[in-house]
Amino acid sequence: MRSTVEARAAAPGSASSAGRPASVHAASCRAVVLQVLALIGATAVTPTLYAQRTTPPGVERPSVASLTAGGEEERYLRLMQLAGAAKPYPWSLRGLSPSEVGRLEASDSAHPWSAHVAFGVGRTGAVRMHPLPVSLQTWYNSAFPYGGNDGAVWVGRGATVAAGAGMAVYGRHWSATLAPVVFWAENRAFDLASTGVEGVGAFRDPDSPGTIDLPQRFGGGSYARLDPGQSTLRLDLPWLSLGVSTANQYWGPAQHHPLLLGNNAAGFPHLFLGTAAPVNVGFGHVHARMSWGTLDQSAYSPMIGPGERRFTAGAVAVLIPRGLSGLELGAARFFHTAWPEDGLTLSDFLKPYEGLLKSGVAGGVDNPDNQLASVFFRWAAPTAGFEVYGEYAREDHSWDLRDFVLEPDHNSGYVLGFQRLWSASASRWVALRGEILNTRVSHLARVRPQAPFYVHTYRLQGHTQRGQLLGSPAGYGGAAGVVGVDVLDASGRWSLAWQRQRRRPAPPLGEPRPADVLQALTLERLHLRNPLRWKASFGSVVDLNRDYAGDVFNLNAELSVQWTP
């Protein structure tokens, strides 16, 4: 059963056609540049368009309703923690529920965005209803698709437009959010790398066309979809939280490159059950969640017939040790299995708790289920305005204990990151952030087979949802780095970020090729003006040795506006 409605206007042929004349493309690029510069300038100098609205103390504003995993409000709330303006709380199990966000309510209202965001959910049992912000986003890529961590949206070459709206309703122990998103991608043609497969197979990934559902391009024409987005129905009791959702989950402490689950793809329909808040277990506090859902594939997936529909079972747990302020330790497991033709059984729901070694699992080496597992940590010191974090993940099991001891790094990857906040005053913050990812095929390939990260042998869709990676946008390529500076004040945020990403996995041994690497420099302006919010970004992206050939330059731009009713 599909959770979204897809519409494609696929033009026959033209898997790598030239598209419009170069003069038209250049004119489009100039127009986008002028729009970006005009909007950045206008947001910096224009007078107030709307009178600033105020909310009496103790009354909720819609910030909590629009707080999503990996979103702008959540990113800001994380900085509030480092500044000591929000209470300590584990950050490796998200999205946060409205009641969890309420526990993080600022103990000191003096922070740069105090006039624009508030995270308290109120203390009464009355039912409250809030319309979600109405948003319109546009992206432009001049030469090839480029984007990531944008949920259901796929940003192709040319223009991409997305719109969203919705409603959030809260009761004393329950909440319901309806937040669909619709997008349309012009999806203009560009040169595709050869896959060796004809027909729709020509759009597949060129390195693993038979073992991952990761299209280079979503067909030969425009691409559109309606997605349920960040929609959730949940019940939060004093100890327990449960519900059904299509919202993104963010497991682990990473900001840009989570190894298991993040917001790079659409959220998938799932049930969840876990603790409503960290539970005291004597030696610390434990926060945990189990999740069961279904994953769908794109129209270009190599999986045809039985196995097209997948069942997922996962579990994540975070420990906050007693006496070690700001430290959180955690682990997670996530399974892909074919949806059983004769129905689900208890063993399917308990997959995350099966043996860690393949030799102890029913079916042994022939067991077709695929697993990803990770361990992670985060240490945040609010008094110092600093956090450091990391995650280590494995694809599939070790065969036995000896195999694990000898080669614990087989089919593995890691993320390391930090964030430092300087609070010169209550109205101005400066943050420096950095993160590196390495999931490359290691030296062990000389003595035993290794596949690129997120590629699975039996489940031929890989670690994907509808043709996009569920984890890091660079995990399949194998390497990435991010360094960014954010300056926040009462008017919004300026950001400058450099990103490096290996676009294609390393070729097999014996096939020396130059690395296909993206280098991007992006300037972004977020301007807050109640009830409006504007964001504009402009990026220059160079793909060095694209498809192991020449260098290609891409202009990337984003314009968006959000209005809170």
- Helix H or strand E encompassing 191: none
- Confidence band (pLDDT; 50, 70, 90) for 63? low
- Residue 514, pLDDT above cutoff 80: yes
Pick the range with the lowest mean pLDDT from 315-319, 330-334, 398-402, 506-510: 506-510
- Residue 327, pLDDT above cutoff 70: yes
Reduced to 3 states (helix: H, G, I; strand: E, B; else coil), residue 239 is coil
- Confidence band (pLDDT; 50, 70, 90) for 283? very high
Mean pLDDT (whole number) for 450-462: 90
Task: Please measure the distance between the N-terminal and C-terminal CA atoms of the chain and give it in whole angstroms.
Answer: 34
Mean pLDDT (whole number) for 525-537: 93
- Confidence band (pLDDT; 50, 70, 90) for 34? very low
User: For residues 2 and 92, which has the higher predicted lDDT (pLDDT)?
Assistant: 92
Cα distance between residue 431 and residue 417, in whole Å: 13
Query: Token pair of 275, please?
Result: 């603790």
Query: Token pair of 318, please?
Result: 């975070």
- Confidence band (pLDDT; 50, 70, 90) for 309? very high
Cα distance between residue 113 and residue 427, in whole Å: 8
What is the predicted pLDDT for the residue at 5?
Answer: 39
Q: Would the pTM of this model clear 0.85, i.e. be above it?
A: yes
Pick the range with the lowest mean pLDDT from 142-151, 197-206, 339-348, 461-470: 339-348
Task: Note whether 293 and 309 are within 8 A (CB).
Answer: no
Q: Of 499, 451, 498, which Cα lies nearest the Cα of 473?
A: 499
User: For residues 364 and 350, which has the higher predicted lDDT (pLDDT)?
Assistant: 350
**Chain segment 258-280, per-residue pLDDT in tens:** 999 999 999 999 999 999 999 99
Pick the range with the lowest mean pLDDT from 17-31, 201-215, 309-323, 479-493: 17-31
- Residue 6, pLDDT above cutoff 70: no
Mean pLDDT (whole number) for 66-85: 89
At 186, give phi and psi (nearest 5°): -60, -40
Cα distance between residue 129 and residue 127, in whole Å: 7
What is the predicted pLDDT for the residue at 120?
Answer: 66
What is the predicted pLDDT for the residue at 12?
Answer: 37
Q: How far is CA 229 from the centre of its chain?
A: 13
